[in-house]
Chains A and B, each alone.
Chain A
């Protein structure tokens, strides 16, 4: 099977947007459900990507490797490692006020980036890790791309189903209660610290998993790919634009903003040549302005959060 240029670009576009959708779903657990401000997304993403890369690449003199794990266990390990880091950070920081947590997560993102850049024995430093195996590599290029897209879509469906279940469950209600009125939640006997920690760790695990998918999709990763702002910022804009607190909104936002982001790439392609080098900055500027417009005019996003319908017939009175 041969895909035309446009179709093959579409598959590429959808796959990458899908990976961003998983990141956005992860952030939705932390911010949308639980109201915790994480701007270290790039860090968790990088941890997931590097863990998957190191576990699955063949042995190399340039970085740690040669474990030859299959991809699924390594992706789950990537999620677990990201969750573990979130747990360690969370034990210290989760009980802090939003602003403090935000500052702390910048620090985490920064430290993870420094480690990846400087610990060459582990990550090959700035030169990155090449030759990360891609799944379905036995098929032709186009079939492989389509199968990978199917894998990403399946991952989105599974993560979405799990999070939707979580959102409707008593656990999700407690998260919202803590987010909207911490004192009241505490007064009704909820362990605020624990619930927050759970949401923070769950979100980070999803981001780690997304990171693993990204590594297998890209085939090559380097610290450059995890520009702290770039990855983090886009995911934030996606969630705010889509509607924080709403899982479908998170997915919609990811695809919509990724479409816009890719669209601006075509736009900057028409720039005169002396501006071409600055096209990247222009694109960031446009997305930054978009975020401000959304915050001022429609802060609830495309699909605003709606409280879940009570599960009929199962409501029990105490």
Chain B
């Protein structure tokens, strides 16, 4: 029982890291643009497929594919913002929400058209898990966890040490005040998309490594990603990271008591609990 719990906690950390990477983007975009980006899940999927292009047809190793996919997804995010969201920014934020919902479907259908609807994997060889007593640990899980932590540290350094990061936090706190102090808001928005897109791609690749890549992968993860962002207090990147790990562990451990097919329901139940009892998130956001 204890060993099961520990095992599930390890899985939870891995999955939670994926949720966290997705939730940071959702949360930051919400902080800056004030809308929940429903296309975020499909941006994750897109990142996964970009990596597939590099590992599959180009036959390059994953450590090259990973940064390439992150950069490509970030570029797509910025282009989408320029083509679409910038034109809608003057209207109510809820119009952006509807638009992102439509964008989610556009991205997904493009993915289906280009890569087809089947499940695919990056590589077919199976690495045996390491055994520690009764525990099984997959090597790729360790790598994923290490990369997640690295990305989180990089994000922290970016937000606290660079001018752009500070401008971003200022704008999330008070957009009007930020504008008055001469912050170039359009550049901040572009950088928010770059970071959100890149982290989404990382989450998508990890999801695909953990399970299999398919066009619905990201959309099916959107609910826990939103839940993680809400748990942490939407608009707060650090909260989103904590929320992601927390949700990952809770939803994995829940499989001890609940049929695994109902895992998404755990995310939903957590959303409801948070919204009812602490609408600003556990760590106090907006």
Contacts and interface: CB of A to CB of B under 8 A. Distances in A.
Interface of A: 35, 37, 39, 92-93, 96, 98-100, 102-104, 106-108, 110-111, 114, 117-118, 229, 233, 236-237, 240, 277-278, 280-282, 284-285, 287-289, 291-292, 295-296, 299
Contacts, number: 123
B193 interface: no
With most chain A CB atoms within 10 A of its CB, the pick from B91, B110, B275 is B275
A285 B113 contact: yes
18 contacts: A39-B101, A99-B30, A99-B93, A99-B97, A102-B38, A107-B223, A107-B267, A114-B262, A117-B261, A233-B101, A233-B102, A278-B113, A284-B106, A285-B110, A287-B105, A288-B103, A289-B106, A291-B98
B275 A96 contact: yes
Chain B: interface secondary structure?
Answer: helix
A39 B97 CA distance: 11
B222 A106 contact: yes
Contact of B116 (A93, A278, A289, A291): A278
Interface in B242-286: 259, 261-262, 264-265, 267-268, 271-272, 275-276, 279
Given A107-B268, A240-B98, A291-B99, A281 B113 contact: yes
A100 B229 CA distance: 11
Contacts of B222: 106
B102 A102 contact: no
Given A111-B265, A289-B106, A295 B88 contact: yes
Contacts of B99: 291-292, 295
B157 interface: no
A92 B102 contact: no
Closest 9 CB pairs of A and B: A107-B268, A281-B112, A288-B106, A281-B109, A285-B109, A291-B102, A99-B36, A284-B109, A288-B105
Given A37-B94, A96-B275, A99-B35, A111 B268 contact: yes
A92 B219 CA distance: 24
A96 B106 CA distance: 28
Nearest to A244: B98
Nearest to B99: A295
A233 B99 CA distance: 11
Contacts of B106: 284-285, 288-289, 292
Interface in B94-146: 94-95, 97-99, 101-106, 108-110, 112-113, 116-117
Contacts of A110: 223, 264-265, 268
Contact of B264 (A37, A39, A111, A287): A111
B275 A100 contact: yes
B107 to A, nearest CB: 9
A103 B272 contact: no
Interface of B: 30, 35-36, 38, 84, 87-88, 91, 93-95, 97-99, 101-106, 108-110, 112-113, 116-117, 219, 222-223, 226-227, 230, 234, 259, 261-262, 264-265, 267-268, 271-272, 275-276, 279
A33 to B, nearest CB: 15
A287 B91 CA distance: 22
Contacts of B267: 107
Contact of B219 (A107, A229, A240, A278): A229
A288 B35 CA distance: 19
A164 to B, nearest CB: 25
Contacts of B101: 39, 233, 236
B272 A296 contact: no
A282 B264 contact: no
B265 to A, nearest CB: 5
Contacts of B227: 103
Given A103-B36, A284-B109, 5 more contacts: A104-B275, A107-B268, A111-B262, A111-B264, A285-B110
A299 B262 CA distance: 38
A291 B234 CA distance: 27
